[in-house]
Structure 1
Amino acid sequence: MTIAIINPNASHFMTKQMQASCSNLALQNETLWFECEKSPASIEGHSDGIYAAYHLLEKVRQLENSATPPKAYVIACFDDTGLDAAREITASPVIGIGEAAMHAASFISQNFLVMTTLQRSVGILERNLDHYGLRVRCAGVAASGLPVLSLDADEKSYDIVKQAAHKMLQAKKADALVLGCGGMSHWVDALQQDLGLPVLDGVRIAISFADSFIGLKLSTSKVLGYAWPEAKTS
């Protein structure tokens, strides 16, 4: 059985980077990785998110119509781009890396901090926290000031994120750090060691949840909120 992991942006480099960071996961199911080639190169703000959501849904429809549709999907953008819409067009579980990481953080900490990229993403993630009912468990959402496409293996970029996270963890008295971008996934082990507390990468967590949901035979409810889209006669 297959888990489709879809990067809603167009960055092949970021997709490969996330894939490499997840290579040691012990899974029962096969993973296939995709990006949305016609999407923006990175998702930074509302307009990027809307463009990317459209192409994400097209990718899900394409996979649903394939000979062997995936048994679960992971949306590999911390904004959870197009998440609710994707859940309407498949019965397979659809897991967003943002929702997965923040719920997981609530299992192992009382007060977690989310470290994102640019300040413009803070409001989007705060809105998601409200939607997921997790605002009360979150110490805050902080921005490192680094654009998404600068989150590579560069030591300077790592130091900026580490120092920003350390400062805000102390100021907010948080006891876990959630990485607020899939492009940070390759730093999870180093940050956990340097900061001395749990660091959560939503990419690994969402894939692990998806793998478990397949084993538990859980599917997306089609009764009400995530029912199939209404047929149009025009």
Structure 2
Amino acid sequence: MIAIINPNASVSMTEQLARECNALSGLHHQLTFHRCAEAPASIEGYSDGVSAAYWVAHKVRQLESGPTPPSAYVIACFDDTGLDGARELTRAPVLGIGEMAMHTATLLCQKFCVMTTLERSVPILTRNLHHYGLASRCAGIFASKVPVLALEQDPDSYQRVLDAARQSLELNNGEALVLGCAGMGQWVRRMEADLSIPVLDGVRIAVTFADAMVGLGLKTSKVLSYQFPEVKAAEPTPTRG
């Protein structure tokens, strides 16, 4: 079983993830879909990310304590919200859609562009890009200025994202486009046809890689970085004298 975790609280976005992933062919493992109901409705900026990361860890702990823990996890937010923390909590592979999409882009081109939602997401994704060692392969991270929730609700959102992507690719010699939000995955084939270049959706990529990693028997290393958390005794509650 592969658990796809939506770090935000959106029911409609979780349903969209399920439609897209269940349409993938050639998978060998069952997919389950989970949202973090107590998290923000969308993740835009540092404080949303910190809040959502707590609930991602909570969800992984819940699933790990169940009768049949997942064989792999996919964190379905392009910020890779709570990714490193989740990897500490399980031996199963945990894949972030941002990391997987950008790594895969390097197999298809020399320079890729990332198209995200709001400008406030650019510094977060830039930091991730450097953390993953991929800065030299990225032509730039650009904002469409379309909020996450508007991707579903605004009928003009596709054209706005497409126009911003085309301009960014042309001005920066981008050879492939990475969609910098899970909510953009609904457009991957349409945008690929309109731009005539590879367009990468991290959700489909991460789920496919997770399926392959389970088949290969790969696990998260528990040496150093992703050791299980230390067990700590609870602090006694102070008493008033």
| TM-score of the pair, normalised by structure 1 | 0.98
CA RMSD of aligned residues (A): 0.9
Residue identity opposite 1:91 in structure 2: R
Give how far 1:231 is off: 1.8
Identity %: 58
Alignment of 1:47-86 (within 5 A): 47-86=47-86
Give how far 1:17 is off: 1.1
Provide the C-alpha distance between the structure 2 equivalents of 1:54 and 1:136, rounded to a whole number of angstroms. 31
1:43-89 per-residue CA deviation (whole Å, 9 max, x = no partner) reads 00000000000011000000000000000000000000000000001
| TM-score of the pair, normalised by structure 2 | 0.95
Residue identity opposite 1:121 in structure 2: S
Residue identity opposite 1:22 in structure 2: C
* Contact 2:117/2:146 (<8 A) preserved: yes
| Secondary structure of 1:40's aligned partner | coil
Alignment of 1:90-109 (within 5 A): 90-109=90-109
Provide the C-alpha distance between the structure 2 equivalents of 1:233 and 1:105, rounded to a whole number of angstroms. 44
Provide the C-alpha distance between the structure 2 equivalents of 1:146 and 1:98, rounded to a whole number of angstroms. 18
Task: Point out where structure 1 has 5 or more consecutive residues left out of the alignment.
Answer: none
Deviates more, 1:17-26 or 1:73-82: 17-26
Alignment of 1:121-200 (within 5 A): 121-152=121-152, 154-200=154-200
Residue identity opposite 2:28 in structure 1: Q
* Contact 2:112/2:176 (<8 A) preserved: yes
Give how far 1:153 is off: 6.9
Residue identity opposite 2:161 in structure 1: V
* Contact 2:87/2:94 (<8 A) preserved: yes
| Secondary structure of 2:224's aligned partner | coil
| Secondary structure of 2:39's aligned partner | coil
Q: Counterpart in 2 of 1:17?
A: 16
Q: Counterpart in 2 of 1:119?
A: 119
Q: Counterpart in 2 of 1:89?
A: 89
Provide the C-alpha distance between the structure 2 equivalents of 1:225 and 1:23, rounded to a whole number of angstroms. 33
Provide the C-alpha distance between the structure 2 equivalents of 1:78 and 1:92, rounded to a whole number of angstroms. 20
| Secondary structure of 2:159's aligned partner | helix
| Secondary structure of 1:107's aligned partner | coil
| Secondary structure of 1:225's aligned partner | helix
